[in-house]
């Protein structure tokens, strides 16, 4: 009885949090606690598929046998790919069993890293970089364009289950800001990809979403046809000739 009252109270608190105006920065897809639900409870069976059991063994073999727990991040990542982009508590419990640690050791990791989603995401989870260089180059407009086009709030999933939009810290592609990552969970762990789309505009990001909707894979990387990778727009401005050979330093050979 007491347990049910506590769960009810936590549910009320969660609803209050959800009604608050959206914080300007919010990472990951859930608050840092778990409440049992019909699709997320420790009683629901979950284990790696046969193919992923083999992958898990291979991952664990990279670590000394008395440090199996070091495999926690790649195993959570594999579990998330298998589970369509999110980690129910039973998947985390399974990972804890595989690496022989208490479940709390796995929960600590899954709640700390924003790449781990503990609520459902879309088949295509779109992560907008919100760190300073991308922000200065228009990441807010990119996110607004995505949210408006898809008719969702941040971390909500579209009704057809195809898309969700989240936010990430710098993904190391600042020179091609603004950028997003598309985590593609549409083909399970076998077909999983995590691709960068850079030099975006509010219009281009919508075109990319629509290409995914049609089942296409739009070309990743810079979306600015005037640039090669992260080179300057309009072509090189330095290193314009072939490199000269180094001066001869071996007097006998010169």
Chain residues that interact with ligand FES, rule: CB under 6 A:
129, 131, 133-134, 170-174, 177, 179
The answer to whether 129 and 92 are in contact (CB under 8 A) is: no
Would you say 177 or 183 has its CB closer to ligand FES? 177
Cβ closer to ligand FES: 52 or 176? 176
| Smallest distance from ligand FES to CB 230, Å | 11
Q: How far apart are CA 130 and CA 136, in angstroms?
A: 9
Please, which residue, 135 or 162, has the CB nearer to ligand FES?
135
Q: How far is the CB of 234 from ligand FES (least distance, A)?
A: 22
Q: How far is the CB of 135 from ligand FES (least distance, A)?
A: 7
The CB-of-122 to ligand FES minimum distance in angstroms stands at 21
Nearer to ligand FES, 121 or 177 (CB): 177
Buried b (16+ CB within 10 A) or exposed e, 158-184: beeeebbbbbbeebebbebbbbbbbbb
Specify the residue, 138 or 188, whose C-beta has the smaller distance to ligand FES: 138
Residues 6+ apart with CB under 8 A from 30: 117, 118, 119
Give the shortest CB-198-to-ligand FES separation in angstroms: 8
């Amino acid at each position: 009885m007491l347990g049910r009252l506590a769960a009810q109270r936590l549910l009320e608190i969660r609803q209050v949090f959800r009604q608050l105006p959206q914080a300007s920065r919010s990472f990951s897809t859930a608050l840092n606690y778990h409440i049992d639900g019909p699709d997320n409870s420790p009683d629901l069976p979950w284990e790696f598929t046969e193919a992923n059991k083999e992958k898990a063994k291979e991952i664990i073999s990279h670590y000394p046998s008395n440090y199996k727990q070091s495999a926690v991040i790649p195993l959570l990542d594999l579990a998330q790919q298998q589970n369509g982009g999110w980690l129910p508590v039973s998947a985390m419990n399974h990972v804890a069993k595989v690496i022989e640690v208490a479940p709390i050791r796995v929960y600590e990791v899954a709640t700390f890293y924003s790449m781990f989603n503990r609520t459902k995401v879309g088949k295509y989870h779109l992560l907008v970089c919100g760190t300073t260089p991308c922000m200065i180059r228009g990441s807010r407009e990119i996110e607004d364009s995505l949210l408006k086009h898809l008719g969702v709030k941040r971390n909500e999933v579209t009704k057809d289950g195809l898309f969700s939009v989240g936010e990430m810290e710098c993904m190391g592609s600042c020179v091609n800001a603004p950028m997003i990552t598309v985590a593609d969970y549409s083909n399970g762990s076998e077909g999983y990809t995590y691709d960068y789309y850079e030099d975006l505009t509010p219009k281009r990001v919508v075109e990319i979403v629509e290409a995914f909707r049609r089942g296409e894979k739009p070309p990743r990387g810079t979306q600015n046809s005037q640039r090669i990778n992260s080179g300057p727009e309009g072509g090189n401005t330095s290193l314009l000739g072939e490199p000269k050979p180094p001066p001869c330093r071996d007097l006998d050979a010169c």
